[in-house]
C-alpha cells in the first residue's frame, strides 16, 4: 500500500455512518480535509417498498460495512494503524442500523488500540459545512432539514448547541417524501419534487404556511401535507387532471418560504451574521437559491455543503468527531446505539 507520511500533529479519523439507509465510511484529516468518502446507498433496495424498511436496512449494513470501511482506507492510501481515532454515529436513527456501525467501530478501535468517539448524527450534518468552508467557525445559525429532523440551532461553539426551533410533526424531508408518493413520483421524494418543480409554476396553487402561536421558530408540515392530499382528492373527484409539476413547485415554494422566513428572522433576532444549512433537504435547489438571495438582502453570510455532503455520509461524522476528539471526548467500549439521542447530550 502507498502509505502516507503521517505527521505528529495531524489527526486522522476513520469515521463510520449507518444510522439510516446509507452505509458509509470516510477518512478525514484535521476535521476539514476529506481523504476518502465512500457511500453505499440502499435506495434501490427500499424504493420497491416506498420507504426505508428498518429490518432490511440493518441486514444490508451488515453485508456492506466491511467492504465500505476497507475501501475508505484504501482510497485514503492509509492503514487502520495510521488512524488517530475511530468515530461512529451512535444516534439518533434506526436502532438496528446504528448498531451495525457502532459494533464495527468498537471492534476496529479495540483491535487497533485506538480511541473511540461516538458522534451525534445531526452534529455530523452541521459539521459537513466545515469541509468546504475553511473560514467557517461557530457561533452560527444552522437550519437542519433532513428526512427525520427539522431544527433551527445556534452552534455556540464546537459541540455546543442551543435549539431555538423544531418541527412539531413531520420533518421537512418527510413532507417532501409523502407528497412525492401521493403524486406518484416515488422514493426518495425530495430530489424528484426538486426536479419536477423546475418545470412548474410555484404560484399555481396556494398552500398553507403554518405558524405556531408563541413559538416563532417552530415548524409544522403535516397541515401542508394534508392540504396537498385534499387538493389531489378534490381534483380527482371533479375528474380534473392535476399538473404534477405545478403541484410540486407550489408545495416546494410553501416549504421553502417558511424555512427561509424563520431562519432569517432568527438570525436577525439573535444578531447572528453566519447562516448555515444542513441535511438532505439542504441540497434542494429552490431552498439554496432562496436562502442565498435572502441572506444577500440582509447582509448575512450563507454557507451550504455540496449535495453529496448534505445527504448521509461519513465525512461529516469525521468532521464533527475531530472537534469532539480535540475537546477530549472519548467513548467507552460500552458505547451503545441511542435511537432518540438529543443534540448536545452524551
Ligand atoms: O439527511 P438525509 O440523507 O437523511 C436523514 O438524516 O434523514 O436526508 C434525506 C431526506 C429525504 O427526505 C430526501 O427526500 C430529502 O432529504 N432530500 C431532498 C433533496 N435531496 C434529498 N429534499 C428536497 N430536495 C432535494 N433535492
Ligand atoms: Zn441524516
pLDDT, one tens digit per residue, over 49-101 is: 888 889 899 999 999 999 999 999 999 999 999 999 999 999 999 999 999 99
Please give the model's pTM, rounded to 2 decimal places. 0.95
Percent of the chain's residues with pLDDT above 90? 91
What is the average pLDDT across 27-45? 95
pLDDT value at position 8? 63
Q: 107 alpha carbon to ligand 1 midpoint, in Å?
A: 30
Please name the residue whose Cα sits nearest to atom 21 of ligand 1: 280
pLDDT value at position 309? 98
Q: For 110, list phi and psi in degrees, rounded to 5.
A: -65, -45
pLDDT value at position 7? 57
Contact 247, 205 (CB under 8 A): yes
pLDDT value at position 279? 97
What is the average pLDDT across 193-202? 98
The set of cell numbers assigned to 334 is 460500552
What is the three-class DSSP state of 173? helix
Ligand 1 neighbourhood includes 259 CB (under 6 angstroms): no
Q: 65 alpha carbon to ligand 1 midpoint, in Å?
A: 22
Ligand 1 neighbourhood includes 190 CB (under 6 angstroms): yes
Contact 260, 290 (CB under 8 A): yes
* 22-29: strand order across its sheet: 33-41, 22-29, 12-17, 85-91, 116-120
pLDDT band at 266 (very low <50, low <70, confident <90, very high): very high
pLDDT value at position 2? 46
What is 290-313 written as a DSSP string? Answer: HHHHHHHHHT-EEE---HHHHSS-
Nearest ligand, measured from the Cα of 195: 1
Q: Residues 330-343, buried b or exposed e (16+ Cβ, 10 A)?
A: ebeeebebbeebeb
Nearest ligand, measured from the Cα of 309: 1
Ligand 1 neighbourhood includes 92 CB (under 6 angstroms): no
Question: pLDDT tens across 217-256, in order?
Answer: 999 999 999 999 999 999 999 999 999 999 999 999 999 9
DSSP state of 82: G
Measured from the Cβ of residue 2, the count of other Cβ atoms closer than 10 Å reads 6
Q: 321 alpha carbon to ligand 1 midpoint, in Å?
A: 22
Ligand 1, from 46, 50, 147: best to mutate by most atoms within 8 Å of Cβ?
147
As residues whose CB is below 5 A from the ion ligand 2, the structure lists 146, 312
Ligand 1 neighbourhood includes 208 CB (under 6 angstroms): no
Q: 322 alpha carbon to ligand 1 midpoint, in Å?
A: 25
**279/172 Cα distance (integer angstroms):** 10
Amino acid at each position: 500500500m502507498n502509505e502516507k507520511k503521517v505527521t505528529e500533529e495531524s489527526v486522522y479519523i476513520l469515521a463510520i455512518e449507518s444510522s439510516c439507509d446509507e452505509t458509509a465510511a470516510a477518512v478525514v484529516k484535521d476535521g476539514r480535509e476529506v481523504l476518502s468518502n465512500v457511500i453505499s446507498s440502499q435506495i434501490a433496495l427500499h424504493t420497491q417498498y416506498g420507504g426505508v424498511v428498518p429490518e432490511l436496512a440493518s441486514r444490508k449494513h451488515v453485508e456492506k460495512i466491511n467492504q465500505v470501511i476497507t475501501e475508505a482506507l484504501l482510497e485514503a492510501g492509509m492503514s487502520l494503524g495510521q488512524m488517530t481515532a475511530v468515530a461512529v454515529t451512535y444516534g439518533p436513527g434506526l436502532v438496528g442500523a446504528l448498531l451495525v456501525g457502532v459494533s464495527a467501530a468498537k471492534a476496529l478501535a479495540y483491535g487497533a488500540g485506538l480511541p473511540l468517539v461516538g458522534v451525534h448524527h445531526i452534529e455530523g450534518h452541521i459539521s459537513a459545512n466545515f469541509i468546504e468552508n475553511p473560514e467557517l467557525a461557530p457561533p452560527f445559525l444552522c437550519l437542519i432539514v433532513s428526512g427525520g429532523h427539522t431544527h433551527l440551532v445556534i452552534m455556540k461553539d464546537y459541540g455546543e448547541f442551543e435549539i431555538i426551533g423544531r418541527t412539531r410533526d413531520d420533518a421537512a424531508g418527510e413532507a417532501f417524501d409523502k407528497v412525492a408518493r401521493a403524486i406518484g413520483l416515488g422514493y426518495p421524494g425530495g430530489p424528484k419534487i426538486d426536479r419536477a418543480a423546475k418545470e412548474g409554476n410555484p404560484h399555481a396553487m396556494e398552500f398553507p404556511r403554518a405558524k405556531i402561536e408563541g413559538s416563532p421558530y417552530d415548524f409544522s408540515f403535516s397541515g401542508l401535507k394534508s392540504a396537498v392530499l385534499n387538493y389531489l382528492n378534490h381534483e380527482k373527484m371533479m375528474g380534473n387532471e392535476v399538473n404534477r409539476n405545478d403541484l410540486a413547485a407550489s408545495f416546494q415554494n410553501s416549504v421553502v418560504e417558511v424555512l427561509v422566513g424563520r431562519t432569517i428572522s432568527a438570525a436577525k433576532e439573535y444578531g447572528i451574521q453566519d447562516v448555515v444549512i444542513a441535511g438532505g433537504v439542504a441540497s434542494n435547489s429552490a431552498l439554496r437559491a432562496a436562502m442565498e438571495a435572502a441572506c444577500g438582502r440582509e447582509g448575512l453570510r450563507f454557507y451550504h455543503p455540496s449535495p453529496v455532503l448534505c445527504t448521509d455520509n461519513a465525512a461529516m461524522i469525521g468532521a464533527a468527531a475531530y472537534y469532539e476528539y480535540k475537546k477530549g471526548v472519548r467513548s467507552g467500549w460500552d458505547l451503545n446505539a441511542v435511537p432518540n439521542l438529543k443534540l448536545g447530550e452524551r
